[in-house]
Amino acid sequence: MKKFRKVLDGLSSSSPGGVASPSCGSAAGTPTAHAPTPQDIHVQETLVSENFQICKTVRHGFPYQPTCLAFDPVQKILAIGSRTGGIRILGRPGVDCYSQHESGAAVLQLQFLINEGALVTACADDTLHLWNLRQRRPAILHSLKFNRERITFCHLPFQSKWLYVGTERGNTHIVNIESFVLSGYVIMWNKAIELATKAHPGPVVHLSDSPKDEGKLLIGFESGTVVQWDLRAKKVDFRIYYDEAIHSVSWHHEGKQFMCSHSDGSLTMWNLRNTARPIQITYPHGKILKDGRKESCKPILKVEYKTSRNSEPYVIFSGGLSYDKSGGRRPTLTIMHGKAVTVLEMDHPIVEFLVLCDTPYSNEIQDPYAVVVLLEKDFIVVDLTQSNFPIFENPYPMDIHESPVTCTAYFAECPPDIIPILYSIGAKQKKTGYSHKEWPVSGGTWTLGSQTYPEIITFFEITLQMLYKLKTSKVFEKPKAGEGRAGELVEEDPYAVQMVSWCPHSRLFCVVGISAHVILYRFSKHDANTQIMSLEVRLQFDSEDVISPSEAENNPCFSDPSSHSPQPPGSPGSGTQDSLPCLKVKNRPVRMPPGYQAELVVQLQWVDGEPPQQITSLDINSAYGLLAFGNCNGLTVVDFLQKTILMCMGTLDLYGAADPYQRLTRSPRKNRQSTSDFCMRGLSHFYSDSKKRIRTSYQSLTELSDNQVSMDMERSKSPTSGNATHTHTLSPPNSLHRIVTSDQTESRENSFSRSRSSSVSSIDRDTKESVTTLQFGESYGRKGDALPTACLWVGTSLGVVLLLPISIPTEEEERMEEPITMGPSGTVLMLKGSVLRFAFLDCGGALIQSPYEVWRDPNGPEDPDRPRRRKLVNFSPSSSQEACSDGHLAVVCSEKQAKVILMPTQAVLFTHNITESSFLLRADVVSVCNSVCLACFCANGHIMTLRYTVCLSHPNHDSGH
């Protein structure tokens, strides 16, 4: 578990010296001695390009295009080959290793050197490879290339040093497994068949040694010919000819009989005493029709004939269904045990299957106990020891795509106890229909010396492990046919997850759904029987409601909220017919098992026949007890401790009196479109539309060329104005630092300005402004603030950053009863493109984490003598920068630009245009090697890392870098 956590932390791990130190107490800040100036700041940068080398960490998911399968019955490990040359080795849960052929050729067949820690692979480029599995990473020891013949089948008997290789020409070659060279012994096809037979028997499709005599080799040809070759005498013992093509052969353990599967869906049993004709011909899924004709069947691709000590033999095969029955039916695996015939339907086509037995010796009673089935997109193991043949629960993280993946998130530096507790809770989640026995593939180990015998194979690979599963649909009532509006909103799943926010320290988990809802979960180790609280929000806003600046000049900012603000639930004028959410929350007490338990659901309502717009941003803070989310209409802040809506505002109201745009009135629409025209898009359209929205957000701004008004108020905050010369750098690690003086900076700022046009052509332009990112944290809401306070940073699709200070009662009793106050501060910061990310650094360049509440179990036992109280943790700036520890740096990144802003002065220390030809999809500030960098994922497929170095000098000193 410790090793697993290190990989999860990845690049985000840092030493204590590089992270702001925590201090327990209230979320409020501490007094400041003086506001820092740019000259006080010195960030020591240590990042170099070598810190960003690509390295392999974790490979997750089902093997892409699997081709073959092998099993070591002694080591109890599996190997899966793929069409792209990959090999996946699986053992006990957690043992998962991946290797790759450099050629990329498809792996046709795998053969374990049983209990020897080695593996033979036969590839489509007609090359054999011998892999060593006894080292840290599996590696190829030897390779053997066939130049004139194509490899079709390989066989390696148990404890043998000879590998038999069949080819497309019908010849069989023998390879010494120790030296991995051809022995020179070749069984030519024309020697194997009768001299009088002129027809070529076809490729070799089967090779196996007789269980009774390892010196006898059974060779199966595609045409239907089977030959037993005496290796010592170099001659044929017998030949079998059959009219149907052979696909596979399987011996009885006594070596007196064998079974063949054929292309007509038949199984034939042959006895070595009389090889003239089969002793039995069966069509397991074919019947004789009324006219006497045999029902035509599909080929039986593989058959396994296994004997059992205490029961009838098992005949297990894939395929063979009749063509008439197979229409619309899924691929099947058939298990014949005595007179009982069981057909198991699969979700995907069967690539290969293996029967797991207790013994590796082919001449002993097999006693099969499981069947491993490799499907095109899945991997299952069937329990043969139970009459209903249940499958084992797969412990490998083979596939997370039980439903379409709509959201991913990464969390590093989690508390050390969170992973074990999630794993233990997740392991206890109720699962039905699975076998109760232990997973049969139990080989491999993580550490040396943990086993009593030295042959155990040790793996050092790290894989992702499924810890816990949560279904949001359990919060809601199942909609009845024709009831509710969820069916009108999305074509796929109305419960699909779009966004998540998780606080590992407080174990709060927040989920945004496609049906415009937010669910808040709390973690508990105890089950509970509680009722889920529900809040409904009316957050609808039309651009034609915008008032011009001239109309609002003499009016206070919030004089008439109803004119263009979303109306709270139950407000006058809200029709009861439309004031409905998309889904119905369960209104009865719900039993919740240990784990994440739903506490609160916030839903947006329909308004005037229009559905709520999808939520575009989310953040939660456990210390403040606040949850914030926004969409293209506005912002909602919820106090989840008091279960009340704290704020519900349109985007325009967030500006206060500092709106930099000229908002103009628009003529009302003549006719409202039908409800169906305004329905939310389905998941299939959501992603493409999101990209279009991001891509055009910047273009829509730069196209507004009429009546431009430069943003002088932003440049006036820049420390570069004046006589002092400063040096700022924000550059990729592989490029030279660029020294930027004040005049360069000024021209770049002048090249960008925004305004809303007053021309007639732009009157009908859409002026909706989405809330694209939110961040709670300790900051300075206004320039003159002497103390950092709780703030909500808001970023919009028009590149605007707004600060909303929050006043929170400090005493716990007051916090649960007294109202919280918050509102726009008038602070407006500007960037190019939609705002993507905020991060806060102290003046030494270390990340400042947001305050959080220490987790306490909400359903834990109460102590009457010591009532439970909230324990808050707040992060203060590092002590090494005492001279300027009262302020902090804010890093703001948009889809086009990054800025570093000094708080509380709001001076823009540096501006960097990240990309001009493309746009960013994702950005984050992360810790790397005790420093921080801005990591960006661009729409053109590039990943860029930008580091911030600032060395600001006084006017009388030379600028340094």
**658: how many CB neighbours lie within 10 A of its CB?**
15
- Domain residue ranges of the chain, discontinuous segments joined by +: 67-299
pLDDT (0 to 100) of residue 661: 67
What is the model's pLDDT at position 869?
81
Q: Supply φ then ψ for residue 664, to 5 degrees.
A: -115, 150
Three-point CA angle 418, 422, 424, nearest 5°: 120
Helix (H, G, I), strand (E, B) or coil at 553: coil
Per DSSP, what are the bridge partners of residue 100? Answer: 86
The pairing of beta strand 595-604 with beta strand 517-524 = antiparallel
Report whether 721 contacts 742 (CB < 8 A).
yes
User: In the prediction, which pLDDT does 861 show?
Assistant: 83
- Going by their DSSP bridges, the two strands 626-630 and 86-90 should be labelled as unpaired
- C-alpha–C-alpha distance, residues 803 and 658, integer Å: 11
Inter-residue contact 825 to 803 (CB < 8 Å): yes
Containing 25, the helix (H) or strand (E) segment is none
CA dist., res. 637 & res. 647, Å (int): 5
Strand partners, 628: 619, 637
CA distance 93 to 115: 20
C-alpha span between 695 and 681 (Å, rounded): 18
Taking the C-alpha atoms of residue 945 and residue 457, their distance in angstroms, rounded to an integer, is 39
* 149 dihedral zone (left: phi>0; alpha: psi -120 to 50; beta): beta
CATH number for the segment(s) 67-299? 2.130.10.10
Give the pLDDT of residue 949. 63
CB burial of 930-944 (b: ≥16 within 10 Å; e: otherwise) equals bbbbbbbebbeeeeb
Query: What is the identity of the amino acid at 880?
Result: S
Instruction: Please tell me the predicted confidence (pLDDT) of residue 501.
Output: 93
- Residue with token string 């010849």: 171
Tell me the C-alpha distance between 561 and 268, whole Å. Answer: 84
CB 639 within 8 A of CB 626: yes
Q: How many residues does the chain have?
A: 961
Helix axes 2-9, 418-427, angle to 10 degrees: 110
Mean pLDDT for each 10-residue chunk of the chain (961 residues)?
35 35 39 56 73 74 91 94 93 85 96 95 97 89 95 96 96 96 93 81 96 95 95 94 94 96 95 93 86 85 94 94 71 93 93 95 94 93 93 80 79 86 82 86 66 52 75 87 52 83 94 95 93 90 44 36 40 49 90 94 89 93 95 93 92 79 44 34 38 37 33 34 33 31 37 31 53 94 87 94 92 87 88 93 86 90 75 64 66 94 90 91 87 90 79 36 29
How far is C-alpha 842 from the chain's CA centre?
Answer: 32
Strand pairing report for 931-938 and 86-90: unpaired
**Is the pTM here over 0.85, yes or no?**
no
Q: What is the pLDDT of residue 652?
A: 86
Q: What is the DSSP letter of 473?
A: G
Contact by Cβ (8 Å): 130, 177: yes
Which residues, 6+ apart, have CB-to-CB distance to 240 below 8 Å? 225, 226, 227, 270, 275
Q: What is the dihedral of CA 378, 381, 386, 390, to 10 degrees?
A: -20
**Which two structure tokens, joined as six digits, stand for 235?**
């001659």
- What is the full DSSP assignment across 245-272? -EEEEEE-TTSSEEEEEETTS-EEEEET
Smallest CA-to-CA distance from 121 within 160, 68, 173, 185 is with 68
Task: Identify residue 689 by its one-letter amino acid code.
Answer: D
Taking a C-beta distance cutoff of 8 angstroms, is the pair 540, 511 a contact?
no
C-alpha torsion angle, residues 350, 356, 362, 363 (rounded to 10): -130
In which element (H, E) is residue 498 found? strand 497-503
What 3-state DSSP class applies to 677?
helix
